[in-house]
Amino acid sequence: MSKSFASAGDMEDKEISFTEIGEGLYAFTAEGDPNSGVIIGDESVMVIEAQATPRLARKVVECIRSVTDKPISHLVLTHYHAVRVLGASAYGAPEIIMSDAARAMVVERGQEDWDSEFGRFPRLFQGHEEIPSLTWPTTTFSDKMTVYLGKRRVDIMHLGRAHTAGDAVVWVPDAEVMFTGDIVEYHSACYCGDGHFADWGDTLSAIADYNPVAIAPGRGDALVGEEMVEAALSNTYDFVESTYRPAQRVAARGGSLKEAWDAVRAECDPKFADYAIYEHCLPFNVARAYDEARGIDTPRIWTAERDQQMWADLQG
């Protein structure tokens, strides 16, 4: 087990990549840190995911300015997590879009999540003094909405629960490229602390039904080409199932959270131990899998206090 809680000991800067994954479409990635996406339309730019702070967001803006001087008109937030949304003010986008369910989660648990993630990711929250407040959308949708960036069509959709109850994906039909947020990861652990394990596979299948030729995942390298896309979808499914099924078996026989932890580690360590943020995610993933297996449909709210108590319990 890692000696440091979550990513508290990870203070090393990551190398940034800015990869074109379709005409006028880019993935901003940083060695397993949260990704952002960029869609360049005829007259303006849409950004997907805001980063954790304005300081980090400005790195995305710098990359955007290396390829276009068009204004940033839209910011899409695929879900409510602090590391994804709190840098929003740096973009100056007049439209900030979330699903209805994601906005409801900001209302319900946004501040608690901010406080919790601040303790988990000290490096990502450097410059946190600039964050003005919780990030609120200007526009929400239920199942699907379409934005036109000039002639370029962008579909923003809720295909099902997975990483959170309010996950959105962004589909660019003219290029057959999708931005999936943390529903899909590549050589990075899935964070499942607010997840819905029983639904995740169906949501991955719904993404696969679009037959994307490229995907910008939530973390990890851009996925370019059908072979890489299929491998990432399959690997994400394996990660989620390998986490849930051992915890489910333990819960079914009345076992403890610590027993679930041991069972999940036995299944997942051989396959995923070298993935980015694996040790960070594992305690939250096991706790949520154990809860869901015991019939708790709505994930419990993570707070800084609950984080530390869970960590202490798992260390015995």
pLDDT in tens, 123-165: 899 999 999 999 999 999 999 999 999 999 999 999 999 999 9
**C-alpha distance from residue 186 to each of 11, 153, 226, 268 (Å):** 22, 26, 14, 15
Contact 35, 55 (CB under 8 A): no
Q: How far is the CA of 296 from the CAs of 54, 135, 253, in angstroms?
A: 35, 28, 16
pLDDT tens per residue, range 37-48: 999 999 999 999
> CA nearest 38: which of 177, 211, 220, 203?
177
Integer-rounded Cα radius of gyration of the chain: 18
Of the ranges 59-73, 107-121, 196-210, which one carries the lowest mean pLDDT score?
107-121
Nearest-CA neighbor of 257 among 297, 301, 311?
311
- Give me the pLDDT at residue 141, please: 98
Alpha-carbon span 117 to 131, nearest angstrom:
14
In Å, what is the CA distance from 267 to each residue of 126, 204, 292?
35, 21, 18
| CA–CA–CA angle 56, 60, 62 (5° rounding) | 110
CA–CA separation, 169 vs 141, rounded Å? 12
CA distances in angstroms from 190 to 32, 193, 248, 310, listed in the order given: 11, 9, 18, 19
pTM score: 0.95
- For residue 124, give the 3-state DSSP assignment: coil
